[in-house]
Amino acid sequence: MQITPVLRRRARNRPIGRFLLFGERPAVSIGRRPRAIVYVDGFNLYCGSLRNTPYRWLDLVRLCGLMLPEEEILEVKYFTAIVDSPEGSARQQVYIGALESRGRVSTHRGHFLSHVKHKRRTDVCALCGERHARVVVTEEKGTDVNLATHLVYDACTDAFDTAAVISNDSDLVTPIRFASEKCNKVVGVINPQRHPARALMETADFYKKLRSGVLRASQLPRVFEAEGRRFERPQAW
């Protein structure tokens, strides 16, 4: 297993005595590990690192511990939306229950929204001569807003010393910058996608790439019991 090192850590001249929106940041005690919260963009993680792989039964707490070995992981906040298909929804509900049963993981749900859009055709329809087609587009809504809100609120209320965002969504640049510069926190990005968003790399205090070796080492037990329930990895997943 290979853990990707930090590619870049940007030093900032942080003024002494900076005040947060909700109070002054206390100094980290000598010898105490930095408190960390990890914010997981579930759809971005799935599309970038988990789809069509054997690693979907992922232990997020274990993953975060491997990626942030110097920090104390207080909580992993998992932002996702339940898919429409009955089979996919059932598997997803089992996975969410398995994650939450082991502690330190909280789930925050958005939703999927389907609507019709006009898309330009790659070629003109030979029968009707139309250059555009009406297609049904399904988009995830709420995840990035929910993640950004939690990140900024937690930074302003001094809930962590270090935060990591598992996503490659450049829409998160502003909340990451706010939490880092305005609230005097260390905020990094763990990229689950193949191609990095340069805007995130330039904004984050540290940047890491999520690789298959860490995913392989971060799997939940195939079958386990917790909180009086039995959890088993879905066979067809």
Q: Is the pLDDT of residue 19 over 90?
A: no
Q: What backbone torsions phi and psi does residue 226 show, to the nearest 5 degrees?
A: -160, 140
In tens, the pLDDT along 151-210 reads: 999 999 999 999 999 999 999 999 999 999 999 999 999 999 999 999 999 999 999 999
What distance in Å separates the CA atoms of residue 78 and residue 69, rounded to the nearest whole number? 19
> Would you place residue 136 in the very low, low, confident or very high pLDDT band (cuts 50, 70, 90)?
very low
CA 159 vs CA 23, 28, 190: distances in Å: 12, 12, 20
Query: So what's the pLDDT on residue 56?
Result: 97
Short-list 43, 147, 44, CA closest to 88: 43
Q: pLDDT tens across 25-84, in order?
A: 445 666 789 999 999 999 999 999 999 999 999 999 999 999 999 999 999 999 999 988
Instruction: Give residue-wise pLDDT tens across range 82-91.
Output: 988 888 899 9
Residue-wise burial string across 157-168, b where 16 or more C-beta atoms lie within 10 A, e elsewhere: ebbbbbbbbbbb
41-107+142-232 folds as Rossmann fold (3.40.50)
Burial state string for 200-218 with b = 16 or more CB within 10 A and e = fewer than 16 = bbebbbbbbbbeeebbeeb
